[in-house]
Structure 1
Amino acid sequence: MNKKITRIAITGPMGRMGKILIKEIQKNKNAILACAIVKKNHPLINHDIGEMIGIGKIGVYIEDALNIEKNNFDVLIDFTKPSSTLSFIKQCYDFRKNIIIGTTGFLDEEISIINSYSKKIALILSSNFSIGINLIHELVQKTTKILGNDSDIDIIEFHHRDKVDIPSGTALTIGEKIAKVMNWKLNQHTLYYKKGITKKIRETKKIGFSSIRSGNIIGKHTIIFSNKDEEIQINHSAFNRKSFAKGAIEAAIWIHKKNTGLFNMNDILKDKFKNI
């Protein structure tokens, strides 16, 4: 096996992201799909995952557990739910396997658990793996430095009707970036809009969050800085999930070379574009 090739395991291969991840791995010359993991007693166990998602036989059969002792993968990519992700991280920790985490909705104490695992393995935790969104982070931070003290700040996010967490992990990450620049604690400086009589004057030093769940919207985020004289909007729209999948695969290839640590997509972009 070429040591430069990253062997990737995927959880939830029959889900929206799972299918796209597998298709994009098949196109990537620096990665191969090593295994596809589903829930216990799933009816498709032992079927070829390629046939199941419509790309033909690829010789990778669906399994219901990470067989880490076989040492048949280098990096796990997980876009499931917090409880499942924490179980997979524990297994990776026990057997020294690195992991890419695209799951959102973790509690603060769960983030602390994830951070503790980074002493022995390398992890990338990101609410959004698209290059565009991570460039938005940079733009938002620079804008906040200039306009943050004199503006009302709002984050509006749009997602498909089946997304369960509100606000989105991406919106919260953007909020955290703003709060860090402003030297705020995010949970003390948020404003969630709801039905009722609002205060006559909007509270200052607050980041307003609005969420839309409708149809099959992949993901749209708008950050607004408004003051008495002008308004700036920073927008990002995802037209499909390929950008997330490609970013996650690049993250897996990047972290394959790491031993320990907790990283995010900004670390990868800084490394990739350090000469720009």
Structure 2
Amino acid sequence: MTSASPRIAIVGAAGRMGRVLIAAVNQDAESELAAATVRPGSSLAGADLGELAGVGRLGIAAVDSLEAVVDDIDVLIDFTTPQLTLSNLAFCAEHGKAIVIGTTGLSDAELDELDSYRDQVPMVFAPNMSVGVNLTLKLLEIAARTLGDEGYDIEVIEAHHRHKVDAPSGTALRMGEVVAAAVDRNLKEHGVFERVGQCGPRDAKEIGFATVRAGDIVGEHTVMFATEGERIEVTHKASSRMTFARGAVRAARWVSGRSAGRYGMDDVLGLEDISGA
């Protein structure tokens, strides 16, 4: 591993998350903002990244291809779309770069393709880079192991802004996977993602999902464990995208210079098994 500050490139600099990521890298004393990309042919190519992100001039121009900055970067941060992310993984494999992936909405086939790069690219892949969310996942594991097979119904409720294109959110699905594993259930078999009309009474092993899309909600997730007489709720609320961006920058520092592999935020944060299992 290298002790030098990693040279970070942001993919999708013109997007909502891209702009916050630029600001987060710029604020981080242990990282260097080396480049950021916009769509090929975009009128924003050549724009100052600081002005694009609203943090003042930085003297670094947006580019419309990673090839233009291939010799200037060590690690990418990508919160874009599944197909673009997979294309960027191929770029990293070809050029020996690391990558931090916060992209959600990947299909099973796309996840398999992503995983095929685990022996070629050092990657951190997580549906949510927030430190708080990843701690919440550990708390959910404890709760599910304690309550899940004792007559408690499990429901996952998530809310995001009106512009989010995938549902349920990657974080909600990850929460569902954690609680399902803790009670020895298969989420593909027991996950219920829609209830409409005369759907009948709830099956005891269901893990239900409810989705809200409204306004400018950054991200809210609640997992409910409910039985007759009481209800326990584990909730995480994000009020700013900066919490995800700072986690991604932390992941970029961590993964830069590491050997190829598919890592998660557990690895980045050094979270031990606090469940006692």
What TM-score comes out, normalization by structure 2 length?
A: 0.94
Contact 1:69 1:95 in 2 (8 A): no
Distance in 2 between residues matched to 1:70 and 1:251, nearest whole Å: 20
Contact 1:158 1:212 in 2 (8 A): yes
Partner of 2:8: helix, strand, or coil?
A: strand
Point out the more displaced range, 172-181 or 66-75.
Answer: 66-75
Q: Percent of aligned pairs with the same residue?
A: 39
- Equivalent runs, 1:237-256 vs 2, <5 Å: 237-256=237-256
Aligned equivalent of 1:145: 145
- Equivalent runs, 1:123-138 vs 2, <5 Å: 123-138=123-138
Aligned equivalent of 1:214: 214
Distance in 2 between residues matched to 1:65 and 1:156, nearest whole Å: 38
> How much has 1:269 moved relative to structure 2?
1.6
Residue segments in structure 2 that go unaligned for 5+ positions in a row: none
Distance in 2 between residues matched to 1:70 and 1:236, nearest whole Å: 37
**Pairwise CA RMSD:** 1.8
Note closer, same or farther for the CA distance 1:166–1:69 as it changes in structure 2 (3 Å cut).
closer
> How much has 1:185 moved relative to structure 2?
1.8
- Equivalent runs, 1:183-262 vs 2, <5 Å: 183-199=184-200, 201-262=201-262
> How much has 1:88 moved relative to structure 2?
0.7
Contact 2:102 2:128 in 1 (8 A): yes
Residue segments in structure 1 that go unaligned for 5+ positions in a row: none
After superposition, give the CA deviation of every residue in 1:71-126 in whole Å (9 maximum; x if it has no partner). 21110000000011111111111111110000001111211111111102211111
Point out the more displaced range, 39-48 or 236-245.
Answer: 39-48
Aligned equivalent of 1:155: 156
Aligned equivalent of 2:267: 267
Aligned equivalent of 1:90: 90
Q: For residue 100 of structure 1, what is the amino acid of its counterpart?
A: V
Contact 2:35 2:69 in 1 (8 A): no
What TM-score comes out, normalization by structure 1 length?
A: 0.94
> How much has 1:273 moved relative to structure 2?
11
Note closer, same or farther for the CA distance 1:271–1:188 as it changes in structure 2 (3 Å cut).
closer
Partner of 1:109: helix, strand, or coil?
A: helix
Paired residues in the alignment total: 272
Contact 2:98 2:257 in 1 (8 A): no
Aligned equivalent of 1:117: 117
- Equivalent runs, 1:162-181 vs 2, <5 Å: 162-181=163-182
Distance in 1 between residues matched to 2:156 and 2:176, nearest whole Å: 8
